[in-house]
């Protein structure tokens, strides 16, 4: 009887552990760049009330951005660090292309959304979260534990 109980407990623990290992964004990993660009354009269409023509143009710009980002992700870490300025310039150019498509009201809404997103990212990158300060943020490391 104990063997059966232990076996059942082990199976339950194994199943629970396997569910805990699932990635948070499993749905995004399985999508093609075209599907992600469509999703981004649809979200922008709903938020900004884009016309069909505007949505099509935004989708093409997003597809270009997604493909370029995938190329950079696949690149070597040293290459990524060396091309940081190139990525920033590309992202700025992408924003400018999208801004050129939008009306003045749509630009205001998008700018407000971007500012909100920037604030959220600053909160996340602040290093003041549950993990404490990050290395290299100007705070000295904690002293070593005292051995008694």
Average pLDDT estimate for 68-97: 79
Residue 1 covered by a domain: no
Residue 133 covered by a domain: no
For 28, residues 6+ apart whose C-beta sits below 8 A from its C-beta are 36
Token pair of 27, please? Answer: 């749905």
Q: In percent, how much of the chain has pLDDT > 90?
A: 15
Residue 126 has pLDDT above 50, yes or no: yes
Average pLDDT estimate for 98-118: 89
For 63, residues 6+ apart whose C-beta sits below 8 A from its C-beta are 33, 34, 37
Residue 70 covered by a domain: yes
| More reliable by pLDDT, 104 or 138 | 104
Half-sphere exposure of 58 (CA within 13 A, CB side): 26
pTM for this structure?
A: 0.54
Structural domain including 106 reads 31-122
Residue 141 covered by a domain: no
Average pLDDT estimate for 119-129: 72
Residue 143 has pLDDT above 50, yes or no: yes
- What does the alpha-carbon distance between residue 17 and residue 76 come to, in Å, rounded to a whole number? 32
Residue 130 covered by a domain: no
Number of domains in the chain: 1
Residue 57 covered by a domain: yes
- What does the alpha-carbon distance between residue 42 and residue 38 come to, in Å, rounded to a whole number? 6
Residue 5 covered by a domain: no
Residue 98 covered by a domain: yes
């Amino acid at each position: 009887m104990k063997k059966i109980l232990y076996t059942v407990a082990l199976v339950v623990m194994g199943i629970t552990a396997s569910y805990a290992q699932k990635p948070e964004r499993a749905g995004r990993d399985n999508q093609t760049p075209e599907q992600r660009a469509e999703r981004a354009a649809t979200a922008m269409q709903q938020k900004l009330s884009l016309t069909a023509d505007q949505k099509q143009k935004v989708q093409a710009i997003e597809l270009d951005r997604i493909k370029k980002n995938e190329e950079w992700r696949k690149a070597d870490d040293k290459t990524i660090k060396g091309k940081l300025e190139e990525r920033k310039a590309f992202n700025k150019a992408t924003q400018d292309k999208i801004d050129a498509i939008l009306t003045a009201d749509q630009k205001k809404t998008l700018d407000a959304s971007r500012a909100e997103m920037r604030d959220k990212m600053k909160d996340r990158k602040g290093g003041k979260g549950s993990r404490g300060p990050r290395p290299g943020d100007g705070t000295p490391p904690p002293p070593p534990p005292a051995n008694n």
